[in-house]
Amino acid sequence: MEARDENPKALSHTPMWTVDELCAKLHTTPRVIHAWRRRGTAPKAYKIGRHLLFEESDVLEWLRSHESTSTDDDARRADDDGGSGW
């Protein structure tokens, strides 16, 4: 009998990003990614040997959790700057 993968989201079907690819997408550096990991604020990662890989769906979920819209903090900053918004 052949073994079946019961996980509908098998890794073989999910794009994985390296640290460099993640940095390119987020316009940041590996140093920042590693600092986020030390603080526990980075997207979930998989350590495979010496390689750190990020599942695309985890990164997208992480980004959604950091989505920013205009907030009271933005309005307060605008007031502090004389209301110019700059």
Contact of 7 with 55, CB cutoff 8 Å: no
User: What distance in Å separates the CA atoms of residue 5 and residue 8, rounded to the nearest whole number?
Assistant: 7
User: What distance in Å separates the CA atoms of residue 24 and residue 51, rounded to the nearest whole number?
Assistant: 17
For 20-74, write each residue's pLDDT tens digit.
Answer: 999 999 999 999 999 999 999 999 999 999 999 999 999 999 999 988 876 656 6
List domains and CATH numbers for the chain.
14-66 (1.10.1660.10)
pLDDT at 69: 79
pLDDT at 86: 47
Better-predicted residue by pLDDT, 78 or 61: 61
